Amino acid sequence: MSRYLPERLVRLAGPNPLVRRLSSQSVLSAFGDGVFLTGSAVFFTQIVGLSAAQVGLGLTIAGVATFVLAVPLGKLSDRYGAKRVWAISSLVEALLYLVWLEIGGMASFVLMTIGLELISTASRAARNAYRFDVFPREERVSSNAYFRAARNVGYTLGALLAGIALATNNDDVVRMVPVVTAVLLLLNSVLVARLPRATHHVEVEPVLETALDAVIDGVTDGPDRRSALRNRGYVAMSIFGGVLATHQVLLNVVIPLWLVEETDAPRVLLAWLFGTNTVMAVLLQVAAARGITTVDDSLRAQRRGAFFFVLSCGIVLVTHDTVGWITIALVWLGHVTVTGAELFNSAGEWGLQAELSDPERRGEYQGVSQLGYTLGSVWAPALYTFLAMSWGTPGWIVIAAIVLVAAVLIHPAARAAERHLASQGIAQPA
């Protein structure tokens, strides 16, 4: 396909054929996700017939189920092979979206949401494990940067398509939203299945065990010296990484609310803010990840991300007292700097996960990463919103202090994870 595209566009997709294939897959996957995410609020309330409170409760229940089973679901990739689990879970996820057409109440909504979240968790762990396995050490972070940029393109396309559907204000058109998502994700599963084998590909599936057995084993297994959960440094590092990743809460929740309720900036500025974030994520993520290979490189990126996070807090807090174009310029600059936090934090996170995971248990370590991320970030929307909107300037200072503490503590946590792997005689392959 690449020979039919302009050479410059091909280079933007990645430096080699495998990165370009995975970038294409990332665009397609995010395209499907973006279509449904953008139209989901209307679909759940207008088509399924739920209240906003019921939707929120259902999503919370699904989040709890995912939290409990994140590590066992990650282990599936180590037992059956990351590519196989990724391909199968992607196929099941695509088919599940067609079931949305039959959902008609709270009970079925909760069951469906739990099922989708669990499948998505297994798919995400397998996807990340595959990406770390299939590339040599020096390409792992840079390749993920291309995929992150590609996913932003896909989400934008999905939002545009869903926006067109919602603009019709026609229930029959809205019902097609999960169908379109299913078709796109079905194509995505085909692309995943055709990817080359990774380093730790599992050749033969166990005959007497099923995927359900693997999940049950993951919950009930006794002590295992190589278990990712026994790597306390990695668990702590994942939690602190989740705290540093709360830039997304600032980006998507706190700054927009602050703009609307605490400044004189026009609400239309919100569109420009999110547009700027998308453009920066597409064009600058690769540059932010350049040169990151080692643990030292990754920690340096985390420090840079924390710096931009704190800088954003300092810029936005003063807009309560500014007026006119000064307010507009400062809010926009605050959004730009928190996007800088996103770019560097993402790059540092990929580097730490790649370097500090047991190569034979990447799926399990990805499950722990998701567990830690949840612990480190699930409280942030409520707390950050309260601090900023109720406390004003002191609240923004507290938010910045929380991030600074996490940026400091992630360093000893990463070193502890490094020592744990060394004590087990575990080394990263070249």
Reported as a single tens digit per residue, the pLDDT across 10-44 is: 666 688 899 999 999 999 999 999 999 888 888 99
Give pTM, 2 decimals: 0.88
Mean pLDDT of the chain: 89
Residue 426's pLDDT band (boundaries 50, 70, 90)?
A: confident
Instruction: Give mean pLDDT, residues 143-163.
Output: 93
Poorest-confidence range of 35-44, 179-188, 298-307, 309-318?
35-44
- Which pLDDT score, from 0 to 100, does residue 248 have? 93
Distance CA 109, CA 102 (A): 10
Residue 209's pLDDT band (boundaries 50, 70, 90)?
A: very low
- Which pLDDT score, from 0 to 100, does residue 225 have? 66
- Cα separations (Å) of 144 from 258, 286, 293? 32, 8, 12
Residue 244's pLDDT band (boundaries 50, 70, 90)?
A: very high
- Which pLDDT score, from 0 to 100, does residue 223 have? 54
- Cα separations (Å) of 219 from 26, 121, 227, 238? 31, 16, 12, 20
Place of tokens 């500014």: 322
Examine the pLDDT at 280 and tell me if it is beyond 60.
yes
Poorest-confidence range of 220-224, 292-296, 323-327, 407-411?
220-224
Contacts for 267 with CB less than 8 Å, ≥ 6 apart:
259, 260
- Which pLDDT score, from 0 to 100, does residue 205 have? 47
What tokens appear for 396 in the block? 């923004």
More confident residue, 203 or 62: 62
- Which pLDDT score, from 0 to 100, does residue 204 have? 45
Contacts for 96 with CB less than 8 Å, ≥ 6 apart:
112, 115, 116, 119
Examine the pLDDT at 186 and tell me if it is beyond 70.
yes
CA 215 distance to own-chain centroid: 22
Contacts for 127 with CB less than 8 Å, ≥ 6 apart:
82, 86
Q: Which helix (H) or strand (E) holds 183?
A: helix 171-193
Examine the pLDDT at 91 and tell me if it is beyond 70.
yes
Poorest-confidence range of 3-12, 114-123, 309-318, 326-335?
3-12
Examine the pLDDT at 97 and tell me if it is beyond 50.
yes
- Which pLDDT score, from 0 to 100, does residue 199 have? 65
Interhelix angle for 324-355 vs 295-317, to 10°? Answer: 160
Instruction: Give mean pLDDT, residues 375-387.
Output: 92
Q: Among residues 30, 289, 1, 313, which one has the least CA distance to residue 135?
A: 289
Give me the amino acid identity at 388: A
Instruction: Give mean pLDDT, residues 281-292.
Output: 94
